[in-house]
């Protein structure tokens, strides 16, 4: 299962909260109740026109100008670089 950056950040925050809460309550080392697991969300792999979909962003990819039959994701990331997903 691959997590997005937001899901990873929320998971880390939840773990830190549980740790801080259990230490402040005097229950150091106590294990929290297990959280229910969400079913994995399946994303489409291609549009209705057989255009591949970026596995990171979930958007349709763009056709390459230089390589016939190759597609790339044109989305810009938060750090200023472009997504490197190709199909």
CA angle 28, 32, 38 (to 5 degrees): 155
Q: What percent of the chain has pLDDT over 70?
A: 69
The answer to whether 29 and 23 are in contact (CB under 8 A) is no
Residue 56 neighbours by CB under 8 Å, 6+ apart: 4, 73, 75, 83, 85
Sequence spans of domains, the chain:
1-35, 43-87
**Which pLDDT value is given to residue 54?**
87
**Which pLDDT value is given to residue 43?**
60
CA 33 to each of CA 6, 15, 40: distance values in angstroms, whole numbers, following the listed order: 23, 12, 21
Is the per-residue pLDDT at 33 higher than 60? yes
Q: What is the mean pLDDT of the chain?
A: 78
């Amino acid at each position: 299962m691959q997590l997005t950056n937001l899901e990873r950040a929320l998971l880390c925050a939840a773990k830190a909260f549980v740790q801080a809460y259990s230490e402040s309550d005097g229950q150091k080392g106590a294990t929290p109740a297990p959280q229910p697991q969400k079913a994995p969300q399946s994303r489409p792999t291609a549009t209705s026109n057989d255009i591949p979909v970026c596995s990171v962003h979930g958007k349709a990819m763009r056709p390459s100008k230089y390589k016939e039959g190759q597609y790339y994701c044109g989305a810009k990331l938060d750090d200023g670089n472009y997504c490197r997903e190709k199909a």
